[in-house]
A and B are shown apart, each in its own frame.
Chain A
């Protein structure tokens, strides 16, 4: 099917290679080609870098975008943070041609350019809006029976002006994708709450950060696992949860018939 530039970010290749593996195996079964982006750097992080130096943030993001452009591909990522940066940067560059020109001017001496800004997708978004829920359902070979507490994370939904879908409150698209695997998405009180990690809180105010995660996890009743679209939320929730935390691609891979051992899931408690 289609070829996408696969932006890995930092956490997945460094700490959670099992997610990358699950993504590659899933993509293969879905007929999606994930091509590596040679020379890709840090996205850079939307909460931290953007807060300190917006111009530098934009330039680095544009550099990553230009790598995809050179490949002739749109970008897909597995991380809400990477998605936040690349998506927002792509939109800001498109909306402001003068800004885009000045960024390109800075990039050109280094051998990068951005004549066309590529589309940026979160893998979850790509599956829902482009690949299609029905097409996905047809590929499911091993329907699952888990009760899942779904966590969306922030950058997947906000800022709403740069996101597909009408509202960031009470969204359902990710739940639908989870349920395509045969799993059931269960309601819980703190579903819309932050995991507590983002915006530098995890680094700067660890106690508060963990208390937020704890509060969220405590409100989950009767779930077999938590499913997130983001490795950063994932890491955070794992700190406090007493049930497994899965990235969506891991859940998806299971439903597509991938064995846990093939993607390193057996090491999880």
Chain B
């Protein structure tokens, strides 16, 4: 296959796909319709539930895409034709003119200052205007503005041309025209995402009629420091800060009237996030969320929701109408179904949590590639159990929200899949060469200091010009400057230019956290010929402007202190170098369920040897016991088919009735000790995928015990299959063993499987009636269709509260119905306990073997919930499926394919680059007390062969410094954080205190 790929859509999914494909040596054309990559995520203020600044965690991705030599970013471009060829596809790509020459433009913004024509950006409505020549957002990539041809005076009327007159670089080019090009690619990844619905066909809420009714996306822009109001929430009618804010859920979703019957999946959670942010901006604000069910069904979501309940008001009821008062205030008319009251309430601002709908042009794209779309207009996979990434066309993959509303985690979980699916055995796998890092320290220190405004994030709370002025007075500082966003391409260009122009050999960036941005600035140093470790960052945003936002003088003083400390350390920095270690082309997959088997097969197809370890005596896992969801394939058959394929695949070694009992080594060279019935076997491998699934929760923690007329869902399925059930009254009880004190999380799949069990009882058992006792029905996404179907089949739903758990007697259940407030006696013949999920037994032991941590729920912790959901703290070890967090079979399969992709990236290059910040031990000082060995979270320390001192396994060492801090004989040094460097940094801090 042609070793090139086209990725259509430059949002988080498309970028992630492009980066992972490039990591396997595949040339990628990233085709984006707008002027910048970044997608919806670039426009968000924060991401939930971690409350990371969205653009801050995204921009390193955007820069990595822009820098990657194998990725060609094509903006203002769209695919207009596709021809299938023997080797893949020939695409016709139409590129619209930017009227700005990307080669020449430096992103200085002088043109924008001089442009007389104003435009309004999407989602910024009444609040902000931009010029006809503008960036869609500050951190846009490419970092050049573009001209909106529909309003530009030059392009519409032939007058003005100010931008061209004032551009020093002669970068404005009005002669650019639309161009069409053909690209020959092996595979196509469609990642066109979704877009927020404009709720004009819900006129009762007055969107577009009342000024102070806005969508959540518009609020997101108001909350954002980079938004039109600089992060202040103002209502449009009078530019006042709202004190009473209402959020209305399910606008344009769960709504058959407007043809959007699906649940939009993300709105409950982004609504809670935005509500908390409103509260964060104004502690006095009263914030109310109107909801039907709160669908907090993702990792950490339920806990986030429960925490939010203390500061937000949740009202269960879908408002019928919003009315406007003369002063712009709004009256919301609603029924509080828990209080059984119809009420009217006045608010200053009403926010509509509107659904995600298919991106414009989806139908056209579906036509071009001949891929199916579902009744809601999203792209559809052919078989989302076997291959959730593929519509029927070979060589075309669909990932992220173009398949249906998806949060960032789920999108990213899918996005690495194409790298495993698309290129398999074909083509060469490139051997990654050790990166030649630039060398010398360049003699006497010449320090450059770059202070970032971070839009208004820092600039509003810290006197940045004063800090710059101060930095110039510090020893060895030869240059200091400020910039709006140092992380933007313009900001980095300036760093590179000044390094070259002034011969800087050490750089201090005073901005945000090195955790998110160090790599970005290091790359800038490399591009300018400096060793990347000649960089020191001062985190003035988190440590000064955020925490001292009330007191500008102190915040500024502390900023000066941090800059002085960083300069003191920077003067002592020395170059550090990466090391390459060889990697074994074999993997161990732990867990023989659908996820583990899928990962194993994908790795085998990519040419890697696999050892599949399964604790039980047979493959199949939980799917062997699951029930078919209406319209989907039989999961038991899916599991059987996978098991058959795994068994016949020569490169997969299956170890049944076996458990992992020892882990040695590090990425590229692990030795996994597996205890099999035939004894312990040591399996060498380069990478590990953990896919150990989940166990069912014990319903006793919710107060119920199976027995008599009470059965578990597993017993129900068996009885349904044996056709041994009699008619009568069935009561289903949801959330058994979860969402309680012991397991405070939601286990996501059980509402959906429960509804499916209800459907089976109603359609397969003659004379059966069903009552479902629930707390929230969390049938997210298209699963809402099953909820509707089951309701129409006659199932009765009664909502109970956790404070008033239903009471079982011999032949009835008594439940306090939340919508009537009355106790209802439900006579019944059978009670079915629908159990949630818990981490499987042995999780803690396995975690300790690998030294990877657990999320509060007990499931494995990933490196980053949003952007690295498959990675663990231990390089080369990945997680997939239910062990990461309970999920559906299609979701597990998506993750399993992506985890195989991640493992293939690690192993495929043949070698692995080890970051150079690590511990080293002075053998002469070490007394071999071995305390560091116990402390090390990464198993990176071992006794020397002669037993006289400790040694560092450099590949495993993360440079965390725990050992160095503890070592009683001061024998351990961390490169980049030497005793001398840190001593001078501290000394600089104390100098300030003495001034």
Do A and B share a complex?
yes
Indicate if the CB atoms of B323 and A169 lie closer than 8 Å: no
Interface: B715 (CB within 8 A): no
Residues of B within 8 A of A167 (CB): 201, 203
Given contacts A189-B323, A192-B321, whether A170 and B203 have CB atoms under 8 Å apart is yes
Query: A residues 155-175 with Cβ under 8 Å of B?
Result: 160, 166-167, 169-170
Indicate if the CB atoms of B323 and A166 lie closer than 8 Å: no
Query: B residues 248-305 with Cβ under 8 Å of A?
Result: 257
Closest residue of A by beta carbon distance from B257: A160
Query: B residues 28-63 with Cβ under 8 Å of A?
Result: none
Query: B residues 903-921 with Cβ under 8 Å of A?
Result: none
Main secondary structure of the interface of A (DSSP, over half): loop
Indicate if the CB atoms of A192 and B204 lie closer than 8 Å: yes
Interface: B169 (CB within 8 A): no
Residues of A within 8 A of B203 (CB): 167, 169-170
A170 to B204, CA, bound (A): 7
Query: A residues 33-57 with Cβ under 8 Å of B?
Result: none
Residues of B within 8 A of A169 (CB): 202-204
Interface: B553 (CB within 8 A): no
A166 to B259, CA, bound (A): 12
Residues of A within 8 A of B202 (CB): 169
Interface residues on A, range: under 10
A29 to B405, CA, bound (A): 56
A192 to B205, CA, bound (A): 12
Q: Tell me the smallest distance from the CB of B762 to a CB of chain A, in Å.
A: 24
Interface: B209 (CB within 8 A): yes
A70 to B739, CA, bound (A): 65
Residues of B within 8 A of A192 (CB): 204, 321
Chain B residues with a Cβ closer than 8 Å to the other chain, count: 11
A192 to B333, CA, bound (A): 12
A10 to B149, CA, bound (A): 63
Q: Tell me the smallest distance from the CB of B660 to a CB of chain A, in Å.
A: 59
A62 to B300, CA, bound (A): 58
Residues of A within 8 A of B204 (CB): 169-170, 192
Q: Tell me the smallest distance from the CB of A244 to a CB of chain B, in Å.
A: 25
Residues of A within 8 A of B325 (CB): 189
Residues of B within 8 A of A170 (CB): 203-204, 209
A169 to B331, CA, bound (A): 16
A170 to B322, CA, bound (A): 12
A167 to B325, CA, bound (A): 23
Indicate if the CB atoms of B201 and A166 lie closer than 8 Å: yes
Query: A residues 138-181 with Cβ under 8 Å of B?
Result: 160, 166-167, 169-170
A14 to B201, CA, bound (A): 40
Binary flags per residue of B307-343, CB closer than 8 Å to A gives 1, else 0: 0000000000000010111000001000000000000
A140 to B841, CA, bound (A): 83
Residues of A within 8 A of B321 (CB): 192
A224 to B201, CA, bound (A): 31
A192 to B321, CA, bound (A): 9
Residues of B within 8 A of A190 (CB): 323
Query: B residues 174-212 with Cβ under 8 Å of A?
Result: 201-204, 209
A160 to B325, CA, bound (A): 28
A190 to B257, CA, bound (A): 23
A169 to B201, CA, bound (A): 9
Closest residue of A by beta carbon distance from B344: A215
Query: A residues 182-204 with Cβ under 8 Å of B?
Result: 189-190, 192
Residues of A within 8 A of B324 (CB): 189
Closest residue of B by beta carbon distance from A221: B326
Binary flags per residue of A227-268, CB closer than 8 Å to B gives 1, else 0: 000000000000000000000000000000000000000000
Query: B residues 323-373 with Cβ under 8 Å of A?
Result: 323-325, 331
A160 to B257, CA, bound (A): 9
Closest residue of A by beta carbon distance from B202: A169
Q: Which of A160, A169, A170, A189 has the most CB of B within 10 A?
A: A169
Residues of A within 8 A of B257 (CB): 160
Q: Tell me the smallest distance from the CB of B197 to a CB of chain A, in Å.
A: 16
A108 to B929, CA, bound (A): 105
Binary flags per residue of B473-494, CB closer than 8 Å to A gives 1, else 0: 0000000000000000000000
Closest residue of A by beta carbon distance from B206: A170
Q: Tell me the smallest distance from the CB of B659 to a CB of chain A, in Å.
A: 59
A189 to B346, CA, bound (A): 13
Q: Tell me the smallest distance from the CB of A195 to a CB of chain B, in Å.
A: 16
Binary flags per residue of B832-871, CB closer than 8 Å to A gives 1, else 0: 0000000000000000000000000000000000000000
A190 to B321, CA, bound (A): 10
Q: Which of A160, A170, A190 has the most CB of B within 10 A?
A: A170
A192 to B209, CA, bound (A): 15
A167 to B200, CA, bound (A): 11
Q: Tell me the smallest distance from the CB of A35 to a CB of chain B, in Å.
A: 37
Q: Tell me the smallest distance from the CB of B329 to a CB of chain A, in Å.
A: 12
A249 to B533, CA, bound (A): 85
A230 to B55, CA, bound (A): 56
Residues of B within 8 A of A189 (CB): 323-325, 331
Q: Tell me the smallest distance from the CB of A207 to a CB of chain B, in Å.
A: 16
A170 to B213, CA, bound (A): 16
A190 to B202, CA, bound (A): 17
Q: Tell me the smallest distance from the CB of A57 to a CB of chain B, in Å.
A: 23
A190 to B320, CA, bound (A): 13
Q: Tell me the smallest distance from the CB of B208 to a CB of chain A, in Å.
A: 10
Closest residue of B by beta carbon distance from A170: B203
Closest residue of A by beta carbon distance from B201: A167
Q: Tell me the smallest distance from the CB of B381 to a CB of chain A, in Å.
A: 32
Closest residue of B by beta carbon distance from A187: B324
Residues of B within 8 A of A166 (CB): 201
A167 to B201, CA, bound (A): 8
A190 to B325, CA, bound (A): 11
Closest residue of B by beta carbon distance from A190: B323
Q: Tell me the smallest distance from the CB of A163 to a CB of chain B, in Å.
A: 13
Binary flags per residue of B981-992, CB closer than 8 Å to A gives 1, else 0: 000000000000
Residues of A within 8 A of B209 (CB): 170
A191 to B325, CA, bound (A): 13
Q: Tell me the smallest distance from the CB of A113 to a CB of chain B, in Å.
A: 34
Q: Tell me the smallest distance from the CB of A77 to a CB of chain B, in Å.
A: 26
Q: Tell me the smallest distance from the CB of A19 to a CB of chain B, in Å.
A: 30
Closest residue of A by beta carbon distance from B331: A189
Closest residue of B by beta carbon distance from A189: B323
A192 to B204, CA, bound (A): 9
A189 to B322, CA, bound (A): 10
Closest residue of A by beta carbon distance from B209: A170
Q: Tell me the smallest distance from the CB of B260 to a CB of chain A, in Å.
A: 14
A167 to B204, CA, bound (A): 10
A163 to B201, CA, bound (A): 16
Q: Tell me the smallest distance from the CB of B209 to a CB of chain A, in Å.
A: 7
A160 to B204, CA, bound (A): 14
Binary flags per residue of B78-92, CB closer than 8 Å to A gives 1, else 0: 000000000000000
Q: Tell me the smallest distance from the CB of B497 to a CB of chain A, in Å.
A: 57
Q: Tell me the smallest distance from the CB of A240 to a CB of chain B, in Å.
A: 19
Closest residue of A by beta carbon distance from B204: A169
A93 to B576, CA, bound (A): 83
A170 to B199, CA, bound (A): 13
Q: Tell me the smallest distance from the CB of B319 to a CB of chain A, in Å.
A: 12
A191 to B209, CA, bound (A): 15
Q: Tell me the smallest distance from the CB of B328 to a CB of chain A, in Å.
A: 13
Residues of A within 8 A of B331 (CB): 189
A55 to B577, CA, bound (A): 86
A236 to B202, CA, bound (A): 29
What are 17 inter-chain pairs, A to B, with CB distance below 8 A?
A160-B257, A166-B201, A167-B201, A167-B203, A169-B202, A169-B203, A169-B204, A170-B203, A170-B204, A170-B209, A189-B323, A189-B324, A189-B325, A189-B331, A190-B323, A192-B204, A192-B321
Known: A170-B209, A189-B331. 14 other contacts (CB 8 A): A160-B257, A166-B201, A167-B201, A167-B203, A169-B202, A169-B203, A169-B204, A170-B203, A170-B204, A189-B323, A189-B324, A189-B325, A190-B323, A192-B204
Contact surface of B with A, Cβ cutoff 8 Å: 201-204, 209, 257, 321, 323-325, 331
- Which 3 residue pairs across A and B have the least CB separation, nearest first? A170-B203, A169-B203, A169-B204
